[in-house]
Amino acid sequence: MRTALPLFAVLLCTLMAAAQAGGKAPVDKSKRPSPPGQTSVTLADGKTITIDYSRPSLKGRTMIGGQNPYGQVWRTGANEATTFVTTTDLMVGDKHVPAGNYTLYTIPNQQQWTLIINKQTGQWGTVYDEKQDLVRVPMKVSKTPAPLEQFTIELKQAGPKAATLNLAWADTQASVDITAH
């Protein structure tokens, strides 16, 4: 019994230390099945828009309209929630978005997608609180020139104070115009 108590104490201390450290070693996000991606654009006044997200692959699956059904909120990537950071006030489509940090979600449909800019940040991608929506913006849907295996978000410069946000996967692209004001 005398040797069991010290052994138990050492085991308990080890478990407590592991719990405080999160129980995990730091994760190399580049080795995930859905690796990280980033897109950004710098506007004429030096202000920036940056999106950080994870890039899932199709791997033979039908994702949008399949595993991610039409008409339902989608995390717009994988893993942690997709972040949208702007250092200037924007018009996304016809909606005002103040400078700040946000999370992106979408509602895909065959004819039109809806972009959701949500005020909640720092959560896992599947944690969505509709009450935190800042704006919902319609997106135009088109076909990609060639199928894309990996989900891709692109901010494409469209003028000194403008960009186009493109979300593309498989044979579908959803787009919305963004302007600084």
- Label residue 4 by pLDDT band (50, 70, 90): low
Taking only the tens place, the pLDDT of each residue in 157-166 is: 999 999 999 9
What distance in Å separates the CA atoms of residue 15 and residue 129, rounded to the nearest whole number? 34
Nearest residue to 102 via CA among 120, 87, 115, 90: 120
CA distance 139 to 148: 19
Domain positions in the chain are 28-180
pLDDT digits 0-9 by tens, 32-46: 678 899 999 999 899
CA distances from 74 to 60, 100, 109 (A): 19, 22, 11
pTM summary value: 0.82
68 pLDDT more than 60: yes
